[in-house]
Amino acid sequence: MPQLPELFPGFASETIGVDGLEFFARVGGSGPPLLCLHGYPQTHACWHRIAPRLAERFKVVAMDLRGYGQSSAPPGDASHMQYSKRAMARDCIGVMRALGHERFHVMGHDRGARVTHRLLLDHGARVEKAAVLDIAPTLDMYECTDRAFAEAYYHWFFLIQPFDLPERMIGADPDYYLEKKIGKWSKVGGCFDAEALAEYKRCFRAPGTIHATCEDYRAAAGIDLEHDRADRDRKIAVPLLVLWGKLGVIERCYDVLALWSARAERVSGRALPCGHFLAEEAPEETLEALLAFL
């Protein structure tokens, strides 16, 4: 099982049990704890360009979300509750508690940012500060869907199709699918480290991972929307940093700060010169913004 020591120098590999599941994390550094949550279709390895620098000031915990990377991938069911952002947020609380951290900072990219949003709503008292990278709130994105968004994020509607249509189609050539997805979303050539890309592919090839990641999106289009609608009038009290790619879909389709200002009391942020994968396309700018905020 590759541990990517070259990408995370000085970090330890941890496997943490929470509620009968196991979660893989890379843990390094010292200082205030900082939880880092990746997105689709990646793993914790997406933080490799900034995690060592963050570890100079923080105790960095870069974990694989439920169903991704080297973490457990329980089978889904008709409710998709197993992959609700509420369940995934509880995973994060359990991992951090097991590591001895009752309060912490958190940053999430893509799906990890959606888990972060739910974590702030369900467990806001446990978080010092939070950052979400390259997303608008899920409920707003679905309710404002138009042709431009649907064409750019067609996978939101493909992955939610009933089992096992997307699983079979992706499973026919998962490497091709992954490369096409991240290639289209990124705007900075050569941004993906060869070792990190190999790890994304290795993990994504597993049939259980393909199914789990589809369930993640099925939950987002169902049970997550129920939870979000129930909390529509609640505002996040934790200071929130919002970063997004100037060359990406979020910039093109949304007034990002306005949408997040409707969801949180204290919001700041800006666009960075890149596409979707901020920490890999624009690591220096991303690191600068995070350090200034945290």
Is 110 considered catalytic here? yes
Q: In this structure, what is the dihedral angle of CA atoms 18, 167, 117, 276, given to the nearest 10 degrees?
A: 120
Kindly report the length of the chain. Answer: 294
CA atoms within 13 A on the CB side of 168: 5
Beta bridge partners of 241: 131, 268
Strand partners, 61: 27, 35
- Burial class for 188, CB neighbours closer than 10 Å (0-12, 13-18, 19+): middle
Exposed e or buried b for every residue in 229-261, given b needs 16+ CB within 10 A?
A: eebeeeebebbbbbbbbebbbbbebbebeebbb
**Which run of H or of E encompasses 14?**
strand 12-18
Give me 28's structure tokens: 């390094």
Q: Which of 64, 91, 110, 134 is catalytic?
A: 110
Scan for tokens 């996978």, then name that residue: 155
The sign one gets for the Cα dihedral 36, 38, 43, 49 is negative
Pairing of β 12-18 and β 21-28: antiparallel
- Nearest alpha carbon to residue 161 among 211, 87, 228: 211
233: annotated active-site residue: no
Q: Hey, which residues does 59 pair with through a beta bridge?
A: 33
Helix (H, G, I), strand (E, B) or coil at 37: strand
- Centroid of chain to Cα 69: 12
The closest alpha carbon to 37, from 128, 111, 90, belongs to 111
Determine which one of 38, 80, 211, 276 is catalytic: 276
Both tokens of 97, joined, read 């508690």
The residues annotated as belonging to the active site are 110, 276
